[in-house]
Structure 1
Amino acid sequence: MPYTFAEDTSDAIPLHVIESPAVEDWLGTQDERVAGWVRQNGFAGNLGQALLVPGADGRAAMALAGYGTRAKRARVHFALAHAAARLPEATYRISSGLPEEDTATECLGWLLSAYQFDRYKTRTARQRHLVAPEGLDAARIEIIAEAEVLIRDLVNTPTSDMGPADLAEAAETLARTHGADFRTVVGDDLLEQNFPLIHTVGRASATPPRLIDLSWGTSGPKLTLVGKGVCFDTGGLDIKPSKSMALMKKDMGGAATVLGLAQMIMKLDLPVRLRVLIPAVENAISGNAFRPGDILASRKGLTIENNNTDAEGRLVLADALALADEDSPDLIVSMATLTGAARIAVGSDIAPFYTDEDADAQALAAAAAKVDDPVWRLPFHEAYETKIEPAIADLDNAPSGGFAGSITAALFLRRFAGKSRYMHFDIYAWQSANAPARPKGGVGMGARALLDALPDLLKL
């Protein structure tokens, strides 16, 4: 399904976006017939209300979309999509009432309101087409919408069809589409090319582990995106209970997110040298699975005491980050569905991130607020460095005590990013309940904020 704007035609229905405090003033500009119809149908401009107003010939002359109040809109994503979900199939053209500063985000929400994951189920989506408002960079919004759909589809696909090989195929298709260079290191070749942690975590699976490496662009600052590609996580020998395993197809949400962001960057032809690194594995159980208490080697040369086989994401990311640092990029960004501690700290809707650079944090926070992609900075708290330093190895992948789990994981990863400028996101990548433009299932987190912040982060 294309996530695109409609052509402006004469039969597009004018849509008036009206805040609840402005309804009476708007009605004062209308004739008695329209005002009477609106009042009779109880339209009060509340968030999510929608109403068709017929003309003298009985056909729709206009449509109204309730926009609530700013305080109410702050409690939802894509406020206009809440009204769009209640409008009948037709083509609409926004005529008034949508604040200019909200237009891009609300139009993106409108396009995404058509999203359904229908790979395994026959469905007919309701089509509420929208004409792009004048002055909107419609092409950019369409590119962002298509990338968000890619993220959602990748996360929603079960591991039977989205294992390490399938994830590599999706990345290769993206590379081929945009003329990017692509390579993979698979199975025992990981050992030969010094990616021991990726091999260790993935070796028990029937599908061999691999490192996905995509490169695009010939000029500009170097941006390297590293995404956790754990396509399913049993927890390994420290096995998860079945309830905790139910959503583990989404443990490659970091990989999906960096691929979506990469698609945005390439389709927008941003002036950067982009690299995407994804360690793609399944954390399975068999006779050769890695064990609690094992001492593991890493690409960087640091040894790791493995105190929990369910803390595998930071292990595979460690080798990929070490490789990223060897190229001396201007910025490394890692995205990972890494810790339950992050969800306890900020819930499922916010992407916590880490950076040592105050200016980068400020730029990202401003971009996130602008595009309605919420993030929150957590600290690389130096005092917790001792928690990741065990007695018999250089590092501990699962410190005891249970406190500050997201922070200690971020500190662990920072050791492998070396001296490179580094930003890490601990995302959830999942929408827990149905909402307009955000149905239950996979969802992008942090990618749109990063895209908007890139001009500041990389001085583009």
Structure 2
Amino acid sequence: MIDASATLAVDTGQAAREITLVDPADWDAWSAACSPAVCASLAAHRMTGKAGATAILPGDTPEDWSALVVASPDDRLWSLAKLAETLPAGTYRLTGGDPGAAAFGWALAQHRFTRYRKSDDDRKPRVLLVPEEAARAETIRLVDATATVRDLVDTGAADLGPAELEAEVAALATRHGATIDVTRGDALRDGFPMVHIVGQAAAAGREPRMIELSWGDPAHPRIAIVGKGVCFDSGGLDIKPSAGMRLMKKDMGGAAHALALAGLVMAAGLPVRLHLLIPAVENAIAGNAFRPGDVLPSRLGLSVESTNTDAEGRLVLADALTRAGEERPVLILDFATLTGAARVALGPDLPATFANDERLAADLLVAGEAVGDPLWRLPLWDGYDDLLKSDVADLVNAPDGGFAGAVTAALFLRRFVPKGTPWAHLDTFAWRPAAKPGRPKGGEAYGLRACYQLLKTRYGA
């Protein structure tokens, strides 16, 4: 495993091979000015100036070679990722000097999830030079946070249940001097009843729990970060088909995002009072599993009719959001792999983003654009609120008919957020279905850097 810190170094004038980055719009002019040897090499590579193309360029001697990549400014974040995966180990410098955002893609491209593979990886890092230590350190923090999300999501459910998720939060708390509080057993039944009921069918050792981490000066603005921690989702008694269950190890992807974002906040020392909440459960099948038609009590006091046991994530999030709101935060952010409807509407790359505050919604979209981590806003459409009505309880967890599934799920969560508290909900996929340079197939962080950018902008120095 290559540590991210080994992939970037501060440029002090040390020897390094050059990487030239060319915009496709500038290709004709750039290639026309090349030396005969470089022109011949480009012809041999059949280079046409298409974005994503790479080549090795000859120098005056066989050892004096450099690298070329054609990249659009719109894809600057990942422009060097392919080279980071394919160039020989060594030290490299961008001809323009500062790689900027491309340093993130360079470093992350060298990360591998190796937990289940035979340890025969003898790779050495490709080192990219950056102009200053502050930018290097921040990039490494972002790479490590993204790798954390990927690794947690890629881990099989047998190795990452509620207890292991708790251990991850405890380790994070230890690293940053935070405190951790975990509610289990009878205390969970009384304090977080929907978390208890959703997870009560899990086997011994995989019991449900509410995990809370607190950090920072109580005098600073309080922010709450909430993540759905369903470590495996069978669908419960409304069991998923095998194809739908195949990737349900990733149903704790919201918790992975929340944990990684909390780590970024603490590592940066943002002047906030942080409250991380992760309801950790397994939605299992047993004789005591909750049923369709059951009416569940909630921490807020609202009763919820279970119309679909496969709509469990919003139940555990509801208790967590209630707990977050009790501390009167100035901001609540939640992450959840919540609905297939969001993926049908927006695909895997764009987290469906809901917000009850116009300024927060606008700031989130701007933050995502600024760091190349786009979000897409969907409406909290009041007209669909009636779809949550129940004949026997205060509301249902999943309306019949399937219309606007991502919207009605967000409307359900809104019932448990205190009025007047700015709140954003990211319905994120947490999975990349096809590989791209620097982005292997598997667990993925969507919306993480956007939310961190928002917090830095609002609360950073």
Tell me which interval the TM-score lies in, with the shorter structure as reference length: over 0.9
CA offset digits 1:267-292 (Å, max 9, x no partner): 11111111100000000011111111
Give the secondary structure class of the aligned counterpart of 2:95: strand
Residue 368 of structure 1 corresponds to 368
Give the TM-score, by structure 1 length.
Answer: 0.93
CA offset digits 1:357-404 (Å, max 9, x no partner): 222111111111111111011111001111111111001001001101
Distance in 2, Cα, partners of 1:311 & 1:77:
36
* Residue 425 of structure 2 corresponds to residue 424 of structure 1: yes
CA offset digits 1:221-264 (Å, max 9, x no partner): 11100100000000001111111000000000000001111111
The answer to whether the Cα contact below 8 Å between 2:69 and 2:79 also exists between their aligned partners in 1 is no
* Residue 353 of structure 2 corresponds to residue 357 of structure 1: no
* Residue 446 of structure 2 corresponds to residue 445 of structure 1: yes
Change (3 A) 1:457 1:411: farther
Residue 311 of structure 1 corresponds to 311
Distance in 1, Cα, partners of 2:124 & 2:30:
29
Residue 21 of structure 1 corresponds to 25
Residue 195 of structure 1 corresponds to 192
Distance in 2, Cα, partners of 1:364 & 1:136:
24
Distance in 2, Cα, partners of 1:52 & 1:60:
11
Distance in 2, Cα, partners of 1:220 & 1:343:
37
Change (3 A) 1:458 1:305: farther
User: Per-residue deviation at 1:30?
Assistant: 4.5
Q: In the alignment, residue 127 of structure 2 is paired with which amino acid?
A: H
User: Per-residue deviation at 1:85?
Assistant: 3.5
Give the secondary structure class of the aligned counterpart of 1:393: coil
Residue 112 of structure 1 corresponds to 108
Q: In the alignment, residue 278 of structure 2 is paired with which amino acid?
A: I
Distance in 2, Cα, partners of 1:424 & 1:90:
42
What is the Cα-based RMSD across aligned positions, in Å?
A: 2.0
Compare 32-41 and 170-179 and name the one that shifted more.
32-41
* Residue 38 of structure 2 corresponds to residue 34 of structure 1: yes
The answer to whether the Cα contact below 8 Å between 1:250 and 1:429 also exists between their aligned partners in 2 is yes
Change (3 A) 1:458 1:132: closer
Change (3 A) 1:60 1:183: farther
Give the secondary structure class of the aligned counterpart of 1:130: strand
CA offset digits 1:316-336 (Å, max 9, x no partner): 011111100100000011110
* Residue 342 of structure 2 corresponds to residue 342 of structure 1: yes
Distance in 2, Cα, partners of 1:135 & 1:106:
16
Q: In the alignment, residue 238 of structure 1 is paired with which amino acid?
A: D
The answer to whether the Cα contact below 8 Å between 2:199 and 2:283 also exists between their aligned partners in 1 is yes
Give the secondary structure class of the aligned counterpart of 2:411: helix
The answer to whether the Cα contact below 8 Å between 1:49 and 1:86 also exists between their aligned partners in 2 is no
Distance in 2, Cα, partners of 1:139 & 1:322:
36
* Residue 329 of structure 2 corresponds to residue 322 of structure 1: no
Distance in 2, Cα, partners of 1:318 & 1:113:
36
The answer to whether the Cα contact below 8 Å between 2:270 and 2:456 also exists between their aligned partners in 1 is no
CA offset digits 1:102-127 (Å, max 9, x no partner): x4332111111112110110352463
Give the secondary structure class of the aligned counterpart of 2:159: coil
Q: In the alignment, residue 90 of structure 1 is paired with which amino acid?
A: G
The answer to whether the Cα contact below 8 Å between 1:231 and 1:249 also exists between their aligned partners in 2 is yes
Residue 217 of structure 1 corresponds to 216
- 1:157 pairs, out of 155, 158, 168, with 155
Q: In the alignment, residue 367 of structure 1 is paired with which amino acid?
A: A
Compare 408-417 and 13-22 and name the one that shifted more.
13-22
- 1:54 pairs, out of 45, 58, 67, with 58
Give the secondary structure class of the aligned counterpart of 1:137: helix
Distance in 1, Cα, partners of 2:400 & 2:79:
43
* Residue 264 of structure 2 corresponds to residue 268 of structure 1: no
Distance in 2, Cα, partners of 1:390 & 1:108:
48
How many residue pairs get aligned? The number is 451
Q: In the alignment, residue 26 of structure 1 is paired with which amino acid?
A: W
Residue 82 of structure 2 corresponds to 82
Distance in 2, Cα, partners of 1:456 & 1:380:
25
The answer to whether the Cα contact below 8 Å between 1:360 and 1:457 also exists between their aligned partners in 2 is no
User: Per-residue deviation at 1:28?
Assistant: 5.0
Distance in 2, Cα, partners of 1:205 & 1:254:
20
Residue 11 of structure 1 corresponds to 15
Unmatched tracts of structure 1, length 5 or more: none
Give the secondary structure class of the aligned counterpart of 2:157: coil
The answer to whether the Cα contact below 8 Å between 1:114 and 1:126 also exists between their aligned partners in 2 is no
Distance in 2, Cα, partners of 1:32 & 1:347:
46
Unmatched tracts of structure 2, length 5 or more: none
Compare 448-457 and 330-339 and name the one that shifted more.
448-457
Distance in 2, Cα, partners of 1:300 & 1:123:
52
Give the TM-score, by structure 2 length.
Answer: 0.93
The answer to whether the Cα contact below 8 Å between 2:228 and 2:279 also exists between their aligned partners in 1 is yes
Distance in 2, Cα, partners of 1:106 & 1:27:
23
- 1:45 pairs, out of 25, 44, 49, with 49
Change (3 A) 1:161 1:228: same
Q: In the alignment, residue 213 of structure 1 is paired with which amino acid?
A: E
